[in-house]
Copies of this chain bind each other. A is one copy, B any other.
Amino acid sequence: MDVNHDAALVVLSGGQDSTTCLAWAMQRYKRIECITFDYGQRHRIELEAAQKIAELADVPWTCLPIDSFSKLGGNALTGDEQVESGVRAENNLPNTFVPGRNLIFLTFAAAFAYQREITELVTGVCQTDYSGYPDCRESTMTALQNSLRAGMEAPFTIHTPLMHMTKGESIKLAQEVGAMELMAWSHTCYNGSVPPCGKCPACELRAKGFAEVGIKDPLLERLS
């Protein structure tokens, strides 16, 4: 493949972190594309948020269906199980855990990028704020990058600008890269509520980040 380090593919979930990554990438790359995965998440609003954000950013957006997760075993984000703040007793992981989910997402992203001669992949995974997801860690991203390079013979780089940031630091980065306008359309709430429920772990983490920086969440501003 012709390698062009001026182009990047952003994995856009529609949440605040991937939205920040999109704005970050827009400052660094000449050509950007976004990919969102429709894996049967309970809340279609996440997909709508991603589409709206890509539209506002004026970048090509692809929604890739992955219908395999529901067959892999139940979990809170695709099934009817209630999301709890705690963890599953058996493995100490949050009950929103799909084993290897980010491996699957990023492998599909790489296969998609390959076809478009893009080698730079950008994802909002972060090992600081997350509660034990092994597929969000830097060591996993390094191993995965090696696997993608070997398996597709292409010089992929996985960029994780938020990897070691606290939620507050990632909000500061969002400000710096001018992500606030896009952020007003991002969706975070695990319960799929608009306005956000404010009570689920995702809402709490988001609120904590904005509180740390001392600014208002543009999503709440927009909806008020």
Q: Is A67 an interface residue (CB 8 A)?
A: yes
CA distance A199 to B72 in the complex (A): 38
User: Contacts of A91 on B, CB cut-off 8 Å?
Assistant: 1
Least Cβ distance of A135 to chain B in Å?
Answer: 4
Chain A residues 122-178 with CB under 8 Å of chain B are 134-135, 137, 139-140, 143-144, 146-154
Q: Is A107 an interface residue (CB 8 A)?
A: yes
User: Contacts of A214 on B, CB cut-off 8 Å?
Assistant: none
Least Cβ distance of A172 to chain B in Å?
Answer: 28
Whether B68 and A65, one on each chain, are in contact in the complex, defined by CB atoms closer than 8 angstroms, is: yes
Whether B64 and A151, one on each chain, are in contact in the complex, defined by CB atoms closer than 8 angstroms, is: no
Whether A71 and B65, one on each chain, are in contact in the complex, defined by CB atoms closer than 8 angstroms, is: yes
Q: Is A66 an interface residue (CB 8 A)?
A: yes
Whether A140 and B134, one on each chain, are in contact in the complex, defined by CB atoms closer than 8 angstroms, is: no
CA distance A140 to B152 in the complex (A): 9
Whether B151 and A100, one on each chain, are in contact in the complex, defined by CB atoms closer than 8 angstroms, is: yes
Whether B111 and A100, one on each chain, are in contact in the complex, defined by CB atoms closer than 8 angstroms, is: yes
Q: Is A185 an interface residue (CB 8 A)?
A: no
CA distance A91 to B66 in the complex (A): 27
- A68-B66, A71-B65 known; A104 and B111 CB under 8 Å? yes
CA distance A219 to B102 in the complex (A): 40
Q: A152 touches which one: B64, B135, B146, B150 (CB < 8 A)?
A: B135
CA distance A110 to B100 in the complex (A): 8
Least Cβ distance of A126 to chain B in Å?
Answer: 15
Given contacts A134-B151, A144-B151, 4 further A-B contacts (CB under 8 A): A64-B71, A100-B152, A140-B147, A143-B146
Q: Chain A residues in contact with chain B, CB under 8 A?
A: 1, 62, 64-68, 71-73, 91, 98-104, 107-108, 110-112, 114-115, 134-135, 137, 139-140, 143-144, 146-154
27 intermolecular pairs with C-beta atoms under 8 Å apart: A64-B72, A65-B71, A67-B67, A67-B68, A68-B108, A72-B112, A73-B112, A100-B107, A100-B111, A100-B114, A100-B148, A100-B152, A101-B111, A103-B107, A103-B148, A104-B107, A104-B108, A104-B111, A107-B107, A134-B150, A135-B150, A137-B150, A143-B147, A143-B151, A144-B147, A144-B150, A146-B146
